[in-house]
Amino acid sequence: MKLGDLSVGFVHSLADVLRLRGIEPDQLLLDYGLDAARLAEPQARISIPRYMRLGHAAMQLAQDPALGLEMGRLRKPSHLGLAGLTAAQAPTLREAARALVRFEPLYASNYRGQSSFHEDAQGAWIRFYSISPYNAFNRFVVDTVLASWISQLGAVVSQSVAPRAVHVEFDPTDYHAAYEPCFGQPVEFGREHNQLRLDQATLSLRNPDHCPGTWHQLVALCEADLHQRTRARSLRDQVTQLIGPMLKGQEPSLEQVAARLRLPAWTLRRKLAEEGSGFRTLLNDTRRDLAIAYIRDTDSAFGEIAWLLGFTTAEAFQRAFKRWTGQPPGEYRRMLKRQS
């Protein structure tokens, strides 16, 4: 199981922001296997751990920890492929936001979750899923996503968009002063979600370049692509996909997963048995695969990994990892580094 991946289109705004600072990005991109041919490859993806390392390296080159905010401001619809071009043709800002969220799997996937859109009578929250625990390698991802939403939605309606509120989960950073100029208001740190608040008047702003026929054609293409990616998924696959985001700090139960699938627990148990599987087996397999991915693809501390996988202690995680692989996680990580 992979931790997730993104369209290589995300790399373009990173390269653009370095060029604005007089830094040629080509060598950095080559160091990460991103030559011109790779960037031009249709539907090419970059793993999330590699993207985080690339972003961290770019921040070090620029000596700017707020680089993610500028990356978001420079992101273009084309960087998100078909989904981004579809959102750019939406009739209103509301429909553009919904398209960016609904078709997110076409340009980004993460076992931790998916962005969401929550509307009420006064407005809507556009929410980016949690990627805690936060560190220098992943805070810029939240910065980039939230800033890109403001930038891209503003481009749809050909005017600046001012959110009513901006929340981030992590505590104030040493570059916290950079947030207010980006969003037009103070950002609230240490909140429950990463999200933007837009009022109804903003959501109703119209796209002056909207063409109904083109919009409907693009939506149909996105729907077909999304269906192709998700069709014929077994119940086992659906359960595995649900378990990942639910692991943080807890061990999800069969009853919790069944509720997400809108099935009685006994029905889920029976259907999994018919597929030759069981909930406990899927839970253990998911934990094992994610543990190996974290050890291989990140520098996360074992205590962090233990929490992300729902273990009560780091020691419990280390015992489980040795049972899965025959080696303690530290030894396994050192072996992988020697091999690479």
Structural domains of the chain sorted by starting position, each given as residue range(s) with its CATH number in brackets: 64-228 (no CATH), 235-339 (1.10.10.60)
Burial 9-30 (b: 16+ CB within 10 A, else e): bbbbbbbbbbeeeeeebeebbe
Whether the bond into 133 is cis, omega within 30 of 0: yes
CA 229, 230, 232: angle at the middle one, nearest 5? 115
Supply 25's token pair: 């990005």
pLDDT of residue 229: 81
**Residues in CB range of 232: below 8 A, 6 or more apart:** none
The pLDDT assigned to 249 comes to 86
SS3 state of residue 127: strand
Rounded to 5 degrees, what angle do the CA atoms 46, 49, 54 make?
75
**How big is the CA angle at 292 (ends 134 and 61), to the nearest 5 degrees?**
45
Taking Cα atoms as reference points, which of 84, 96, 114 lies closest to residue 203? Answer: 96
For 264-287, give the secondary structure using H, E and C.
CHHHHHHHHHHCCCCHHHHHHHHH
pLDDT along the chain (340 residues), means of 10: 87 97 96 93 91 95 96 96 97 98 94 93 96 89 97 96 97 94 95 97 98 98 90 81 88 93 93 92 92 87 92 92 93 85
Do 332 and 325 touch, CB atoms closer than 8 A? Answer: yes
Q: What is the structure's pLDDT at 232?
A: 56
pLDDT of residue 248: 85
What is the per-residue pLDDT for 18? 97
| Amino acid (one-letter) located at 184 | G
Rounded CA-CA distance 201/203 in Å is 5
Q: Which two tokens stand for residue 22?
A: 């007089």
Instruction: Mark residue 21 as left, alpha or beta (left: phi above 0; alpha: psi -120 to 50; beta: remaining).
Output: alpha
